[in-house]
Structure 1
Amino acid sequence: MSAAGAGAAPAGAGTLRRVIVGMPATAVETTQERRLPLPVAVVAAVVGGVLMLLAFPPYGVWPLAAVGVALLAAATHRRRPRAGAGLGFLAGLALFAPLLSWTNLHTGYLPWVLLSLVQASYLALLGAASAWVSPLVDRFRWGWPVLTGVLWVAQEALRDRTPFGGFPWGRLAFSQDASPLLRLAALGGAPLVTFAVAVVGGLLVAAAWAGWAAYHRPGGRRSPGGWAPVAGWLAAVLAVPVTGLLVPTRAAGDGDTVTVAIVQGNVPRLGLDFNAQRQAVLNNHVEATVELAAQVASGARARPDLVVWPENSSDIDPLRDASAGGRIQAAADAVGVPILVGAVLRGPGPGQVRNAGLLWQPVTGPDLDQVYTKRHPVPFAEYVPLRDIARLVSKQVDRVRSDFVPGTTPGVLAAGPAVLGDVICFEVAYDEVVRDTVTGGAQLLVVQTNNATFDVAEARQQLAMVRLRAVEHGRPALMASTVGVSGFVSPDGRVSDATGFNTRAIVVRQLHLADGRTLATRVGLWPEVVLTVLAVAALAAAGMRRRVRGGPTAGTPARGGHNGA
């Protein structure tokens, strides 16, 4: 055997490699030897974060989420993990700092800065993981979209739970409220929607990488066949949202009808001092409900079966304060139907309070068997973990004088003609909190919230989450806010009767209740678990490949070499 024959690849290896990698064999080595120059990668990461931001309300350009994912994936490809972490952190700052800017409106800059930095750190982990799996991407180019998808789901799974119960704001899924991909929530909830968005991003970066390789063929040669993989990747990009359109959803529930009124009483002034205005806030909601009763009596509005007040509509405990209880009773008697009141209740222990949804009946008063206590209070806003240490960072934590005690049972409330699934404010972002109400028998999802300390951007971001939950569980839903945005959402995610921000409003709508379960409701956490396990397996496989190829930096190009640092 000749020397040339001994070192030659087996016959057909070039063809096999073209199939596996998805691009011409002559371009593979060129692509594997290169990565984006660092200045270009930095720009790509920052622009990627900005584009992801623009996908969320109030901008709502949902296709940009996938483009942002693609830019971050391109920036981190074939870099060292620590460089990937830095690029991911830059993308995270570009996304979260403006997305969460509403957190600094009335509390100063420090909470906003700290929260943005913490959230950006999770994208730093994502950037490091994306860089780490580069050898797998180079070996199995067709796997780039799937790897991108599972890493994003794993990152969000971690961010949604840590620290102190997590902060799921800014999940890719919540940017898709007007996208065909929203329908995928009925199959696998928010994790599946995030996976689909990230897969589209992975397809885009794979198409761009293949196009770059085809254009930079050795010797400057051009071949029409070199662009075939690009066309294939782009066809797959279009196929994903088309697949979403094929998922069936219901325009309305298929159960009994119920007429529901949302009362948005408004507050005298936006800001943290809405608490000091608590009597005025309660009066606003009482007066608006009495106004609704007069409209019903005159025939101007249909009589509702239920009235929903928002979170904090009574920050005076109506079970202990006779005057507050009397005001709510007068409103319930006037309208003649139950009112779901958002109330702050004192106890159970000294110095403790509860954020609750309390069903108040006409004539008989509060129904103590139908009370939901918020299960997921917001750390540093409704309770202060590690208070002594937190005070060293900022004395603003002492604004929270009493810690809110979490509830222990789902918000399933029997409200006459409908069984409600009540969640309060930020709880709508947590998958299991909402799902528990549906598996407990809820026919209508109710989100009671108070946006008086935020702005319209935060309210619209929250309404996008309500839209996803309605599709996820095939339920009609509503959001009731003190200041807006309030409105109704059909089981296919369409919004009706949305109110303005910082206004007083009353909206009444007839809804069809729903009792069935979507696939997403049935499978629960399993899609997220499976995708996260795949992400962990991919990280392990990348580690093994790096060791086989010569150490922890294997797969990262050196100048003039394949496997250098």
Structure 2
Amino acid sequence: MRVAAGRYAPSLRSPWWRGAAALASGGLAVLVFPQPSLWWLAYVALVPLILLIRTAATPGRAVLDGWLGGTGCVIAVQQWLIPNLTVFVLPIGALLGLAWIPFGWLVRRLLGGTPGPGRAAAGVLLLPAAWLLGEVVRSWQYLGGPWGLLGASQWQVPPALRLASVGGVWLVSYLLVAVNTALAALIALPRARTVALAALLAVAVLVAEVWSLVPLPPRTGSVRIAIVQPGVISGPMARFDRGVRLTRQLVGHRPDLVVWGESSVGFDLSAHPGQAARLADLSRRVGADILVNVDAQRADRRGIYKASVLVGPHGPTGDRYDKMRLVPFGEYIPFRSVLGWATEVGRAAKVNRQRGTHQVIMNVGSFRIGPMISFETAFPDMSRHLAIRGAQVLVVQESVSTFQGSWAPAQQTSLAAVRAAETGRPMVDATLTGISAVYDAGGHQIGPRLGTTASTVRMYTVPLAGGRSVYVRSGDWMICAALGLLAVAGGYEVIRVVVMARRRRPRINSPASKAG
């Protein structure tokens, strides 16, 4: 009995195979982020998805392909959250994937069929804007925050970091999608190859111009900052004791600041004066203030906060920053009365943390620091606001103990490099567990990292920088530009549809209408 060749071969004509291809094409983006960190793949990673969507038979199918591609991207990039989110991974991924619907519709509208140079040129401009719209929408903290932004994958690429100092991570994302769109046009649209080549050349020229015309921030001095990383230690007192022992090794080395990681102190210092006194004595011996991180119920019973607390030779100085942006399910459960059962099937937060209300600048000897806590380093606006307010060094305290062994630690620390480049301010990334690192004002790593298995203390000489980057001065202008492009295109589309409808409408006094 003969079987027809290819009878069981998958075909993109099948909605099921096509849907699977869209999910897989979107998930390909995970390879550009740490740990794989195949940053060069970002310049072609979206080409398969674009080529797939452009062949959709109907606008509805293109919208579905865009949604599935976005869903695959979100789930793949944040697959390390599965132990926490468990059954919520799929619905949350599908919800965030909705942000790719405009992208899917525009791909077919502008690149579907055999478009000429005009539509292809519009595609190179508008598809990156639609992608950026999706990144902005899902960056809302209550939807999970700006994790896995395409531009952040270029954290090790100096020209991309220089672009970030001009337009933030948003400009890098926009140009990456523009390159992917141009390459897709080059492959599939013979009539538009000149436009595609011109677009690629324009991106190359822009990057070269930014590299040559936008200088690195001028150096204004340096400070010595020590990172204390205890490693994975169970129990708040054992962690505290380990932090104290490691910090004692700094006696005689004269640091300007000592930084402990997130949740390094598991009790309210005001309710434990003996431990506060130990920290004060440690500060006197070392000769520097110590920035600890308290994760505990407040003595006034107002709830559990995560707080950066500065301790000096005489005890807590009064400088305190309460974490403002919390991790959904990790630090609180949205609508706990309805979704509280998530704690029974995963490692979701047993108790909601409380939010801080404002950012804080702390004076540490002769310089000023802007503290952030863990997840907050993903938000470009937070580090920008600290730079505007005069922070000379950005400090983030982290703990990724929940995700040891996953891709999360490497992804987390890579964000610090992008924030440093955007603001033109060095960033110190200190972890309780995870990967600790320090980046200069250009986003380049200073000294060695402390890996996920490290339990040690290390001193870094951190160069200070003056001036303000274009991004700090101008803000999210790239987002405004992208929304402006989409608004103009939307207006044009509405006018086109109205004009076409009027042309098709029969005139009342025409002979044809009378005969009817």
TM-score scaled to structure 1, two decimals? 0.78
Question: How far apart are residue 378 of structure 1 and its match?
Answer: 2.0
SS at match of 1:379: coil
SS at match of 2:44: helix
Q: How many corresponding residue pairs?
A: 484
Question: How far apart are residue 43 of structure 1 and its match?
Answer: 6.9
Residue identity opposite 2:486 in structure 1: A
Question: How far apart are residue 101 of structure 1 and its match?
Answer: 2.0
Of 82-91 and 185-194, more deviation after overlay is shown by 82-91
Instruction: Indicate how the Cα distance of structure 1 residues 204 and 546 shifts in structure 2: closer, same or farther if over 3 A, else same.
Output: farther
Q: Distance in 2 between matches of 1:248 and 1:403?
A: 44
Which of the residues 430, 439, 449 maps onto 2:379? Answer: 430
Cα RMSD (Å): 2.9
SS at match of 2:269: coil
Q: Distance in 1 between matches of 2:325 and 2:356?
A: 8
Matches within 5 A, 1:340-359: 340-347=291-298, 350=301, 352-359=303-310
The aligned residue for residue 65 of structure 2 is 87
Instruction: Indicate how the Cα distance of structure 1 residues 243 and 263 shifts in structure 2: closer, same or farther if over 3 A, else same.
Output: same
The answer to whether residue 269 in structure 2 is matched with residue 290 in structure 1 is no
Q: Distance in 1 between matches of 2:274 and 2:225?
A: 26
Question: How far apart are residue 115 of structure 1 and its match?
Answer: 3.7
The answer to whether residue 237 in structure 2 is matched with residue 279 in structure 1 is yes
SS at match of 2:250: helix
SS at match of 2:449: coil
Q: Distance in 2 between matches of 1:539 and 1:131?
A: 15
Instruction: Indicate how the Cα distance of structure 1 residues 538 and 350 shifts in structure 2: closer, same or farther if over 3 A, else same.
Output: farther
Matches within 5 A, 1:220-299: 231-236=197-202, 238-239=204-205, 241-243=207-209, 245-246=211-212, 248-250=214-216, 254-268=219-233, 274=234, 277-293=235-251, 297=252
- The answer as to whether partners of 2:127 and 2:181 remain within 8 angstroms in 1 is yes
The answer to whether residue 446 in structure 2 is matched with residue 446 in structure 1 is no
- The answer as to whether partners of 2:332 and 2:353 remain within 8 angstroms in 1 is yes
Q: Distance in 2 between matches of 1:108 and 1:160?
A: 18
Q: Distance in 2 between matches of 1:489 and 1:291?
A: 23
The aligned residue for residue 119 of structure 1 is 96
The aligned residue for residue 360 of structure 1 is 311
Question: How far apart are residue 341 of structure 1 and its match?
Answer: 0.6
Residue identity opposite 2:421 in structure 1: V
Q: Distance in 1 between matches of 2:198 and 2:18?
A: 25
Instruction: Indicate how the Cα distance of structure 1 residues 550 and 438 shifts in structure 2: closer, same or farther if over 3 A, else same.
Output: same
The aligned residue for residue 338 of structure 2 is 389
- The answer as to whether partners of 1:207 and 1:234 remain within 8 angstroms in 2 is no
Q: Distance in 1 between matches of 2:327 and 2:279?
A: 27
The aligned residue for residue 7 of structure 2 is none
Which of the residues 281, 300, 309 maps onto 2:260? Answer: 309
Residue-by-residue CA offset, 1:197-220 (whole Å, 9 max, x unaligned) = 111112112222334x58xxxxxx
Instruction: Indicate how the Cα distance of structure 1 residues 390 and 126 shifts in structure 2: closer, same or farther if over 3 A, else same.
Output: farther
The aligned residue for residue 41 of structure 2 is 64
The answer to whether residue 291 in structure 2 is matched with residue 326 in structure 1 is no
The aligned residue for residue 31 of structure 2 is 54
Q: Structure 1: state its 5+ residue gaps.
A: 1-35, 215-226, 269-273, 552-565
- The answer as to whether partners of 1:254 and 1:512 remain within 8 angstroms in 2 is yes
Which of the residues 182, 187, 203 maps onto 1:203? Answer: 182
Instruction: Indicate how the Cα distance of structure 1 residues 108 and 442 shifts in structure 2: closer, same or farther if over 3 A, else same.
Output: closer
- The answer as to whether partners of 2:146 and 2:379 remain within 8 angstroms in 1 is yes
SS at match of 1:414: strand
The aligned residue for residue 124 of structure 2 is 145
Question: How far apart are residue 410 of structure 1 and its match?
Answer: 1.4
The aligned residue for residue 356 of structure 2 is 407
Residue identity opposite 1:372 in structure 2: Y
- The answer as to whether partners of 1:420 and 1:442 remain within 8 angstroms in 2 is yes
Question: How far apart are residue 322 of structure 1 and its match?
Answer: 2.8
The answer to whether residue 481 in structure 2 is matched with residue 523 in structure 1 is no
Matches within 5 A, 1:471-550: 471-496=421-446, 497-546=448-497, 548-549=499-500
Question: How far apart are residue 426 of structure 1 and its match?
Answer: 0.8
SS at match of 1:189: helix
Question: How far apart are residue 349 of structure 1 and its match?
Answer: 6.2
Question: How far apart are residue 499 of structure 1 and its match?
Answer: 1.0
Instruction: Indicate how the Cα distance of structure 1 residues 263 and 398 shifts in structure 2: closer, same or farther if over 3 A, else same.
Output: closer
Residue-by-residue CA offset, 1:252-286 (whole Å, 9 max, x unaligned) = 75223211111111122xxxxx5xx1111111211
Question: How far apart are residue 130 of structure 1 and its match?
Answer: 3.6
Q: Distance in 1 between matches of 2:400 and 2:230?
A: 12
Residue identity opposite 1:490 in structure 2: D
Q: Distance in 2 between matches of 1:289 and 1:185?
A: 35
Instruction: Indicate how the Cα distance of structure 1 residues 291 and 508 shifts in structure 2: closer, same or farther if over 3 A, else same.
Output: same
Residue identity opposite 2:163 in structure 1: L
The aligned residue for residue 410 of structure 2 is 460
- The answer as to whether partners of 1:411 and 1:422 remain within 8 angstroms in 2 is yes
- The answer as to whether partners of 2:220 and 2:464 remain within 8 angstroms in 1 is yes
SS at match of 1:484: coil
- The answer as to whether partners of 1:312 and 1:342 remain within 8 angstroms in 2 is yes
Q: Distance in 2 between matches of 1:158 and 1:108?
A: 21
Question: How far apart are residue 357 of structure 1 and its match?
Answer: 0.6
Q: Identity of paired residues, percent?
A: 27
Q: Distance in 1 between matches of 2:316 and 2:40?
A: 47
Residue-by-residue CA offset, 1:518-561 (whole Å, 9 max, x unaligned) = 1100111332123223223323433443554569xxxxxxxxxx
Q: Distance in 1 between matches of 2:13 and 2:90?
A: 30
- The answer as to whether partners of 2:102 and 2:130 remain within 8 angstroms in 1 is no
The aligned residue for residue 99 of structure 1 is 77
SS at match of 1:319: helix
- The answer as to whether partners of 2:441 and 2:464 remain within 8 angstroms in 1 is no
Residue identity opposite 1:479 in structure 2: D
SS at match of 2:466: coil
The aligned residue for residue 185 of structure 1 is 164
Instruction: Indicate how the Cα distance of structure 1 residues 377 and 325 shifts in structure 2: closer, same or farther if over 3 A, else same.
Output: same
Q: Structure 2: state its 5+ residue gaps.
A: 1-11, 503-516
- The answer as to whether partners of 1:316 and 1:324 remain within 8 angstroms in 2 is no
Residue identity opposite 2:134 in structure 1: Q
